[in-house]
Every structure is written in structure tokens, then in C-alpha cells.
Structure 1
Amino acid sequence: MNDAITLTEDDEGKDVVNADGDSIGRVTSVEHGTAHIDPDPSLTDTIRSKLGWGEADENNYQLDSASIASVSDDEIHLDR
């Protein structure tokens, strides 16, 4: 676990990948360092988040930063 990772708006649109390498969703927005994940993004949602137009809603889930193992240019990797 890495508690030092802080997400920013630059992370919006990135895929979230579990420890097995499976994509489990996409970051739709980041507010105050907390990412909001859409577990089943549509093409429209994907484009919106890539453009920074994402917003948190009832279909999104907060990502616990303590679960993040690493962040690359295109993905957020979870440790579990």
C-alpha cells in the first residue's frame, strides 16, 4: 500500500486496474484528491472524462487512495 499517492484532475480518464490486471472502471473525476470511478463507463462517459468534463454522480464510487499501488500515464493500479 502507498498512502503517499495523491490523485489530481490530470488522472481523470485513466483506467483503474486491479491487482490481476483487469480493468474495473475509469476515473470520471477527482475532487480534493479523491477519485470517483465509473465501474462501467459508456463511450460518452469515457470521452467526457478524457476531456475533463466528468462529474461524480450516483453511479460512481470513491476510490480509497490507500488501495492504489501505482499510477502510470494511462492507468491507476490497485494493490488488491
Structure 2
Amino acid sequence: MERDHVADDDEGKTVVDSSGRKIGMVTEIRSGTAYVDADPGLNDSVRSKLGWGHASEDDYALEENRIDTITDDEIRLKDSF
């Protein structure tokens, strides 16, 4: 079942962009927000689009308006994330 909002059971899911490239992994769900450990190979332009700043941070908040769908296995971002 697909949905577009996070739930507690989304912890541990892979976050991918609209073409399926890995962005990171959900490490925690807190107050309805997914926190993502960014993939080490994630480039600065993608980080900037997501508003994630520098690579030195641990986990980044994923804004729900950037999410296209959530499946049993992954969280897929919108084309324009």
C-alpha cells in the first residue's frame, strides 16, 4: 500500500530520488518527521535542494512535502524534491 506521509514503521527504509538513486536511510521517526542518514556519496547539489547543508551533520529532517510515495521498502521523493 502506497502513501505519502511517514509513520513509525518507516524507520530503516531507504530514501531514493524519483529515478531510484539512493539518498540515504531513515534512522528515526520523531513527531511525524523522518530523519535521514544521508548516503556518503550524496553530492552537494542534492543536499542543497533538500536544504540539508553540510555533510558534517548526522541526520537530516526530511520535509513531508518532498515525499512522493512510501512503499513497504522505500520512501521515494518527488521529481522536484
TM-score, with normalisation over the residues of structure 2? Answer: 0.68
**Cα offset, 1:40, TM superposition:** 2.9
In structure 2, runs of 5+ residues without a counterpart are 41-56
Matches within 5 A, 1:29-40: 29-40=28-39
The alignment covers a number of residue pairs equal to 61
Structure 1, gaps ≥5 residues long: 42-57
CA displacement at 1:32 relative to structure 2 = 1.0
Report the identity percentage. Answer: 44
Tell me by how many angstroms 1:5 deviates. 3.0
Indicate if the aligned counterparts of 2:4 and 2:67 stay in contact, CA closer than 8 A.
yes
Determine the C-alpha separation between the residues in 1 that align with 2:4 and 2:76: 11
Let me know the Cα RMSD of the aligned residues: 1.7
Name the counterpart of 1:10.
Answer: 9
Deviation at 1:74, TM superposition (A): 0.6
**Structure 2: how far apart are the matches of 1:68 and 1:11?**
13
Cα shift readout 1:11-70 (whole Å, capped 9, x = no counterpart): 0000000012101100000011100000137xxxxxxxxxxxxxxxx4100001000000
